[in-house]
Structure 1
């Protein structure tokens, strides 16, 4: 089961409300990811910025490890239901924090071929700059 504390759910829901308000005004909404989910024994990684009213549909960047990260919706309950070998599950990176907007993550991830490689490149760039 993916642990999603109240404050993270609130931040994800607030982003969903903000995005809808921006779209109603014809503006573009772009925020930093609130959470990072990952497969502890594989390459699959998800960065989420929003949680829909249904409490299940997350919006963000999904990378299943095939070299082509995509933005879109994915289901929290479906990710929670994934059973991996050795009794493992999809996990939330509790130390994840980002100042980069989702669109920047998408651009870096697409160029690098994965969210994980983009994260490495961004970390190296921050250390050298």
Structure 2
């Protein structure tokens, strides 16, 4: 399974262009949710760097939630305790902005999406 579909990558790139144009008035929403089925890691990705689509930005929870950048190629190489690869949540549909997910995750101690 591919981590990010072509449609999702197009949306991530569009968000990245807006962010680089300093359109911080737009509240970006996550486009894709990735997770490890056997290791309690979750990523909500909102945009990719326009010049390097391997660098994504979003909310990551690898034991504690934080906003920052991640390398998609590194995520693709991650394996959990049982050797299972990272999966894309096929049913994820963002219901709030990335900052709202981040605030909620800080309160709960984990991403709930």
- TM-score above 0.5: yes
Q: Structure 1 or 2: larger strand share?
A: 2
Change (3 A) 1:85 1:113: closer
Specify the SS of the correspondent of 1:55.
strand
**Runs of 4+ more than 4 Å apart:** none
Q: CA deviation at 1:31?
A: 1.3
Which residue of structure 1 lines up, in the alignment, with residue 60 of structure 2? 62
Which residue of structure 2 lines up, in the alignment, with residue 42 of structure 1? 39
1:69-115 CA-partner distances (Å, limit 9, x unpaired): 11000010001012334441011101100120000000000000000
RMSD: 1.6
- Aligned pair partner of 1:89 in 85, 92, 100: 85
Q: Is the aligned partner of 1:30 residue 2:27?
A: yes
Normalised to the residue count of structure 1, the TM-score between the two structures is 0.79
Greater C-alpha Rg: 1
Q: Which runs of 5+ in 1 are unaligned?
A: 120-129
Normalised to the residue count of structure 2, the TM-score between the two structures is 0.89
Which residue of structure 1 lines up, in the alignment, with residue 17 of structure 2? 17
Distance 2:14 2:78 in 1: 27
Distance 2:85 2:2 in 1: 8
Q: How many residues align?
A: 112
Distance 2:67 2:82 in 1: 30
Distance 2:36 2:54 in 1: 19
Which residue of structure 2 lines up, in the alignment, with residue 3 of structure 1? 3
